Amino acid sequence: MKYGKVYFDDVKVGDELPPLVKGPIQQIQLTRYAGASGDFNPIHQDDEFARAAGMGAVFAHGMLSMGFVGQAVTDWSGAGTVRKLGVRFAALVRLKDVVTCRGRVVGKSSKDDVHLVELEVWAENQRAEKVVTGRATVALPVRS
């Protein structure tokens, strides 16, 4: 099972998340994400529209990449642990791009029996250019 359980006690500042590799991005995934999310902006589906808009060609929904980053976090910390996830979309993800999501523990805190781990998270393309940068906070269980 790839969804390991991680305990607050075992996490150290500086720990890195296992990288999550997604792609190469295909048009069908953008179409599928449009249907699942309800974001039917033609800029993600129709090259002609994207060119006319000055964007050169179609590109992925930012929220698709953010979803990948969310998965990189929950593959490590478990589903339902995310308290906060915030990102900036730094560069466009294009068809055929390979997106690798990464993260690193930058802080830990405990208050009123809630044990939070703060992460720096980001996603990069195959040229190691950051396409998404952000922060996540997860609540983890403690060893009893």
Partner 1 sequence: MPIQINKSLIGREYPPYAVTVERGKIKEFARALGDANSLYLDDRVGAASGWGDIIAPPTFSVTFRDETADTAAFLRELGTDISRVLHGEQEFELFRPLQPGRTYLCRAKVVDIYEKTGRSGPMAFVVRETSIADGSNEIVATMRGVTVVRL
In the complex, the residues that contact partner 1 under the rule CB under 8 A are 3, 22, 29, 32-33, 35-39, 41-43, 49, 52-54, 61-64, 66-68, 70-71, 73-75, 79-80, 82-89
In the complex, the smallest distance separating the C-beta of residue 50 from partner 1, rounded to whole angstroms, is: 9
Give the residues across from 108 on adjacent strands: 117
Residue 53 or 142 with smaller CB distance to partner 1: 53
Phi-psi region of 76 (alpha: psi -120 to 50; beta: other; left: phi over 0): alpha
Q: What is the sign of the dihedral through the CA atoms of 60, 22, 28 and 2?
A: negative
Q: Cβ-count burial of 135 within 10 angstroms (0-12 exposed, 13-18 middle, 19+ buried)?
A: middle
In the complex, the smallest distance separating the C-beta of residue 119 from partner 1, rounded to whole angstroms, is: 13
In the complex, the smallest distance separating the C-beta of residue 4 from partner 1, rounded to whole angstroms, is: 12
Residue 12 or 122 with smaller CB distance to partner 1: 122
